[in-house]
Every structure is written in structure tokens, then in C-alpha cells.
Amino acid sequence: MNSRRSWIVFAVGVFAYMAAVLQRSTLGVAGVDAAERFETSAALLSALAVLQLVVYAGLQIPIGLLIDRVGPKLLITTGSAIMVIGQLVLAFAPSIGIAIAGRILVGAGDAAVFISLIRLINSWFQGRSVPLLSQWTGNIGAIGQILSALPFAWVLHNVGWTPAFAAAASLSFAGFVLGVAFLADRPADVPEQPRVASVKDAVRGLGTTLKRPGTQLGFWSHYVTQSSGTAFALFWGFPFLVSAVGIAQGTASVLLVVIVLTGLVAGPILGILTARFPLRRSNLVLGITATLGLVWAAVLLWPGVPPFWLIVLLVVSMGVGGPGSLIGFDFARSFNPIRSLGSANGIVNVGGFTASFVIMFLIGVILDAQFDAGWSDSLYDLDAFRLAFSVQYLVIGFGVVMLLRARRRTRRKMEEDEGISVGPIWVALLRKWKRRG
Ligand SMILES: N[C@@H](Cc1c[nH]cn1)C(=O)NCC(=O)O
């Protein structure tokens, strides 16, 4: 563990994940071209993006179960291969029907990569390096989004649709080949952990994993932190920035890149804080969510067009949300045995993506409804976006309530099982301050 071989496994896994994020985010960049190529409406395209996320989220639990049964290597390589096929289908699709089939394959393959990699890290590394490396994984992988926003977009607009999607697919093909050659489920000198005997057994164990308050805490942590940034980066950010706020297309692309770059800075800091203060992880999650809520409120309530500095603040806060969501996997790790960690991670990962596609879909519905009712002059009007983006308060607010309930039950269980009592953070801070004084 923590050997040279571990780092090779880590590097190959992160590469495969980065390629997966590239495939995932290509359609957002190619939205306008797709609308022209397949002669479809914005609503159908947003439904297509949502469908891909639904497939991704819907497969998280089955894939989590499979990880516990067959190990993560097989899933990372198979997932990469399926994404290659999906992107090639899209590259040559003659009609929207075939394009949809391609995107379903991309969503399905993508679903297998991240949680398998998190599981792999838990086998190849130990101790405090696990939350840190999980952060590096999420944030280096997110560079895939930059690859789609810059080189992919360049090839798309200068060379064409088919070469752009085929070139993107070639990266996942490289991930597949490297994965077959270099990945292994665990170090050779570590005995195999007892695996569930069959998929049936794994399904039976799923109920227990789901019922654990710690798993639920992970789910809601992921749900509240990552959804805003995902809905923005994958779909609504670009039309909002360009059509509603009036920012130039090039600058808007840079702002979407800022979300990823912020994650690269915030991720390691959150990784250190998570490892250093394991009993305060939920406070980190709540702090990130509250900040997001405040910054969104300022943007949505700003009289007139929000100033550029506020938009920068918004993308930076969303950039912290992505790594914040990885704290959810740390809860899964702390409160589940290693043999069911794959399914626990799958459950956690459903959280953020469910909230993301609900938000993405509702934003589209609210924009359409306002336009159809004649309330907005154009589909992407600033005032129309104000109402549409407000839906996040309902979706994420619900998640915060559920998170607080899961946290209460997790703390009660910790007290019963381990005698560890965790009080409110302000009490702990006050006590510390008094001790100093
Ligand atoms: N929230 C992401 C990870 C992340 C880190 N920085 C930005 N995003 C997540 O949970 N991803 C899962 C996946 O499959 O990508």
C-alpha cells in the first residue's frame, strides 16, 4: 500500500475518470451544434442531457453492488469501453434517435468509473491519504470538463462534429487500454477482502447499507453540495452567462473553467480539513451549502444585471461545491465495512446527480413556461432565469433538512456504539475559546 505501484494505479484510474468527465460534458459544449445538426428544440436537448444523467444516477447502485462482487478494475475498463462505443455512435448518428442511444451508452459507461476508482483508492492507500486522494481524483478528473470546453470545442467548430466526438472517444479508449494493462483490484501482497458471495447476497446487503445513517449522511452531503455547480456547468451556465448576463462567449467558457480550477485549489484544502477534523465534516458541508445559498441570493436579487465580480464569486462558490460533495464518500467510508463500500459509494453518488438532474430539468420547464405564458421576451431572459434558478432553494433546501436528520441519527448511533459524543460546533468552539482564555 502507498507504494510506487499504488501511484501508477492511481494515475491510470484518474486518467480514465478524466476521460469519462470529458465524454460526459461534450454534449453541453456541442448543444447549439446538436440543435442545428438534428433540428431539435432546446427543450429536447436539455431532456437529452437529463436522460444521460438519469442513466448515470440510475446505474450507481447496481454498479456499486457489482463493485462489491467483481471488483473495480473490471468496471473501470468496461465503463470506458462502453463510453467509446457511445461517443462513436453519437459521432456518426444520422438522427436524434440514434444520438439519444449514443448518449445513453455514454451515461451508462460513465456511471461505472468514479465510484470504482474511489473503491480502488481504498484498497491501494491507507489512513489520511484516502480523503486527500479522493479529493485529487475528483478535481483532477474534473479537468475533463476543461478538455471539452477548450480543445474539444475547438475541434468541433474548426474540424467538425464527427472528428470531435471520435477524438474525445479516443481518450476513453486510451483509458480502457491503460486500465487493462495497469489496474489491479488490490496490491499483490494484500489478501483479498471477503467479497459478497453473489449479486443476490449483495442486493440483500443493500438494505442494511441504505439504512445506515452514515450512508444517508453521505448521500445528502453529496446532494446539497454538488448539484448547483453540476446543473450550471453541464447545461445552464453557458446560456445564462451569454444570453441573460450578456457576457462574451469566450469569457463565459473561461468562467466555466474557473469552476474546475477552483476545485483544484479547494479540493486539497477540504481533503486536509476532512482528514484533520473528521467529527466536523458535516459543518464543512453545511458551510459550503450556506455560502452557495447566499451568493445565489445576491445574484438573483441583484437589481439589474449582476456585476462581473459577483458572477466570478458565484462560479468560485460552485467550484468549492464539487470537492465539498466528496466529503459524502468519506462518510460512506467511515460508516460502512469495506466489503459493502462499493454499494455505499454508489448510494452517495446518486445524491448529487439526482439533485442535479431535477434542478436542470426544472430550470428548463420554468424557462419554457415563462416564455410560453408571454412573461419573458426570450427563452433565456435574465428575469426568467431569476425565477428558474430559484428552484434550487426548494430542491437543495429539502436536502439540507434531510441532511440534518441523518446527522442527528448518525451522532446518536456513534454515541451508542462508540461512546463518542459530538455536540454543536458553536459549543465546541466556545469551549475551546474559554480554555484559551
Ligand atoms: N462532485 C464530483 C466530484 C468533483 C470534484 N470536483 C468537482 N467535482 C463527483 O462526485 N463526481 C462523481 C463523478 O462521477 O464525477
pLDDT tens for each residue of the chain, 437 residues long: 668 899 999 999 999 999 999 999 898 778 778 878 888 776 677 777 778 888 998 999 999 999 988 999 999 999 999 999 999 999 999 988 899 899 999 999 999 999 999 999 999 998 888 888 998 998 899 899 899 988 999 999 999 999 999 999 999 999 999 999 999 998 888 776 667 777 777 788 889 999 999 999 999 999 999 999 999 988 889 889 998 999 998 899 899 899 999 999 999 999 999 988 888 899 999 999 999 999 999 999 999 999 999 999 999 999 999 999 999 999 999 999 988 888 999 999 999 999 998 999 899 899 989 888 888 777 788 999 999 999 999 999 999 999 999 999 999 988 888 777 767 777 777 777 777 76
- How far, in Å, from the CA of 139 to the mean position of ligand 1? 7
Q: Whose CA is nearest to atom 14 of ligand 1?
A: 114
User: Residues 368, 379: contact at Cβ < 8 Å?
Assistant: yes
Cα–Cα distance, 379 to 289 (Å, whole number): 28
Q: How many helices (H) and strands (E) does the chain have?
A: 19, 0
| Predicted pLDDT of residue 193 | 67
Query: Where do the domains of the chain lie?
Result: 4-184+205-436
Please work out whether the CB of residue 345 comes within 6 Å of at least one atom of ligand 1. no
For residues 208-225, one letter each, b for 16 or more C-beta atoms within 10 angstroms of the residue's C-beta and e for the rest, the string is ebeebbbbbbbbbbbbbb
Look at the alpha carbons of 399, 402, 408, 412 in this order and tell me if their dihedral is positive or negative: negative
Best probe residue, ligand 1, of 119, 258, 285, 326 (max atoms within 8 Å of C-beta): 326
254-258's contacts with Cβ under 8 Å and 24+ in sequence apart are: 255/311, 255/312, 255/315, 256/145, 256/149, 256/315, 257/145, 257/146, 257/149, 257/150, 258/312, 258/315, 258/316, 258/319
Please work out whether the CB of residue 325 comes within 6 Å of at least one atom of ligand 1. yes
Cα 373 to chain centroid, rounded: 34
- Residue 107's identity, in one-letter code, is G
Cα–Cα distance, 251 to 238 (Å, whole number): 10
Please work out whether the CB of residue 323 comes within 6 Å of at least one atom of ligand 1. yes
Cα–Cα distance, 423 to 401 (Å, whole number): 18
Please enumerate in sequence order all residues whose Cβ is within 8 A of that of 225, keeping only pairs 6 or more positions apart, or say none: 285, 288, 289, 292, 321, 322, 324, 325, 327, 328, 352
- How far, in Å, from the CA of 373 to the mean position of ligand 1? 37
Q: Whose CA is nearest to atom 8 of ligand 1?
A: 322
- Residue 133's identity, in one-letter code, is L
Please work out whether the CB of residue 326 comes within 6 Å of at least one atom of ligand 1. yes
94 three-class SS: coil
Look at the alpha carbons of 43, 349, 89, 145 in this order and tell me if their dihedral is positive or negative: positive
Cα–Cα distance, 123 to 35 (Å, whole number): 44
Indicate the CATH number for domain 4-184+205-436. 1.20.1250.20
Give me 287's grid cell: 458551510
| Predicted pLDDT of residue 437 | 62
Give me 295's grid cell: 451568493
Cα–Cα distance, 379 to 349 (Å, whole number): 32
Q: How far is CA 47 from CA 28, 29, 82, 219, 334, in A?
A: 12, 15, 21, 24, 36
Cα–Cα distance, 44 to 47 (Å, whole number): 5
Please work out whether the CB of residue 263 comes within 6 Å of at least one atom of ligand 1. yes
End-to-end alpha-carbon separation of the chain, Å? Answer: 44
60 three-class SS: helix
- How far, in Å, from the CA of 303 to the mean position of ligand 1? 33
